[in-house]
Amino acid sequence: MLVTIPAVLGPEQLRHARALLAAAAWEDGRATAGVQSALAKRNEQLPQDSAAGREIGAAITAGLGRNALFLSAALPKAIFPPLFNRYRAAGGHGFGNHVDNAIRYLPDGSGRIRTDLSATLFLSAPEEYEGGELTVEDNYGIHQVKLPAGDLILYPATSLHRVEPVTSGERLASFFWIESMVRDDAQRTLLLDMDLAVRRLAERVGDEDPAIVSLTGTYHNLLRRWADA
């Protein structure tokens, strides 16, 4: 399941984030990569203790908490604090095929999360750079993603994926992971489809219609069966 979440950050938030990132100190992205990923990873990354990263990350997390589509699609139990990367044509940057680590330890040492979902939030507009598509491979084929600034793509962390080489300009993005209350992607997809269908039907017949009440109850009973809350 790939889900686009539009406008997680608004125009003013994007301008502020871009200003903070322009003044920030970046490091070699391989410093935080695993052994296998380091072989394929060529980019720059904001240090995890960066004040700019914490400020922008808080805005992203707050935006997600207000976003009904994200909450329905991800059913989040925990969100890893957002990280930030930069791909520049001048550095020959790209990130070859890889699968994200299954477990991520929280940077404050408070615990760990299981990475059920990966997320990339684009901070550069598509016309600012060439190349740099997020390419995700799954059972249904190969998907290339290059979204407007402020939009987020959500996809299973089990997916083989890569960032195509940036051939001109600069690609800025935030990336992070979500532990879902429902770890199985197929079950999350069914729940999302059902939730969206119930909402569309409710707009036509009203929330108090007996069919809506029944379907809503079925949704929550499925969530109760599958959730690891």
pLDDT tens figures, 61-117 = 999 999 999 999 999 999 999 999 999 998 899 999 999 999 999 999 999 999 999
The pLDDT value given to residue 103: 97
CA atoms within 13 A on the CB side of 120: 26
Give me the mean pLDDT over the 15-32 stretch.
92
The pLDDT value given to residue 48: 92
**pLDDT above 80 (res 33):** no
Give me the mean pLDDT over the 19-43 stretch.
83
Does 185-226 carry CATH code 3.30.420?
Answer: no
Give me the mean pLDDT over the 145-169 stretch.
97
The pLDDT value given to residue 34: 60
CA distance 9 to 7: 5
**pLDDT above 90 (res 140):** no
Query: What are the residue ranges of CATH 2.60.120.620 in the chain?
Result: 3-180
The pLDDT value given to residue 31: 67
- The beta-strand segments (E) located in the chain are 3-5, 27-28, 41-42, 44-45, 76-79, 83-88, 94-98, 103-105, 112-114, 117-122, 129-131, 134-138, 141-145, 152-156, 160-163, 166-180
For the chain, how many helices (H) and strands (E)?
6, 16
CA distance 134 to 43: 14
Query: What are the residue ranges of CATH 4.10.860 in the chain?
Result: 185-226
- Residues 30-54: b if buried by 16+ CB within 10 A, e if exposed: bebbeeebeeebbbbbbbbebebbe
Q: Considering only residues 172 and 32, tell me which one the structure prediction assigns the higher pLDDT.
A: 172
Evaluate whether 179 touches 105 at the Cβ level (below 8 Å): no
Residue 30 confidence class, pLDDT cut points 50, 70, 90:
confident
The mean of the pLDDT values for the chain is 95
The pLDDT value given to residue 138: 87
Token pair of 157 as six digits: 């962390």
The pLDDT value given to residue 192: 98
- For the domain covering 3-180, report its CATH number: 2.60.120.620
Q: What is the pTM of this model?
A: 0.94
